[in-house]
């Protein structure tokens, strides 16, 4: 019987990246062989959207209630690219602020719940 050759690898050495590459390759292959993915990207997006709307206290929207169509330059709703970009940035800032406030409220609620019972949740 052959003894395994177990050697350490020092961080930053010339062999470190090669060893880590092999390790991740075979771990990924093994995990892929023994576990089947049951959640698709669309499912993941829907879960994230449900979490966000729940965290912000927003009602879930019905995707069939909207229709999407391209906006042409002559349409009254058309905005120049720069103005559209500014609107998108402003929306993202508002969403991030609302999410930060919701997280603070949840943390404050958890802290008050744990102080009321005298122990951590």
pLDDT digits (tens, 9 = 90+) for 19-33: 888 888 888 888 777
pLDDT digits (tens, 9 = 90+) for 30-46: 877 777 777 788 888 88
> Looking at residue 118, what is its pLDDT?
62
Q: Are 71 and 77 in contact (CB under 8 A)?
A: yes
Is residue 48 over pLDDT 80?
yes
pLDDT digits (tens, 9 = 90+) for 50-81: 888 888 777 777 767 767 788 888 888 888 88
Task: Tell me the CA distances in angstroms from 40 to 34, 44, 47, 67, 96, one per residue in order.
Answer: 18, 6, 11, 24, 26
Question: What is the dihedral sign for C-alpha 52, 39, 42, 29?
Answer: positive
Domain ranges of the chain: 79-116
> Looking at residue 2, what is its pLDDT?
72
């Amino acid at each position: 019987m052959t003894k395994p050759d177990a050697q350490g690898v020092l961080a930053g050495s010339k062999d470190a990246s090669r060893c880590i590459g092999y390790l991740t390759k075979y771990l990924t292959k093994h995990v892929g062989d023994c576990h089947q993915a049951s959640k698709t990207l669309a499912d993941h997006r829907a879960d994230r959207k449900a979490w966000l709307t729940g965290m912000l206290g927003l009602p879930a929207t019905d995707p069939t209630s909207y229709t999407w169509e391209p906006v042409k330059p002559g349409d009254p709703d058309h905005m120049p690219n720069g103005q559209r970009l500014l609107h998108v940035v402003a929306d993202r800032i508002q969403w991030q602020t609302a999410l930060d406030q919701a997280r603070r409220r949840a943390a404050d609620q958890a802290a008050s719940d744990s102080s009321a019972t005298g122990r951590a949740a």
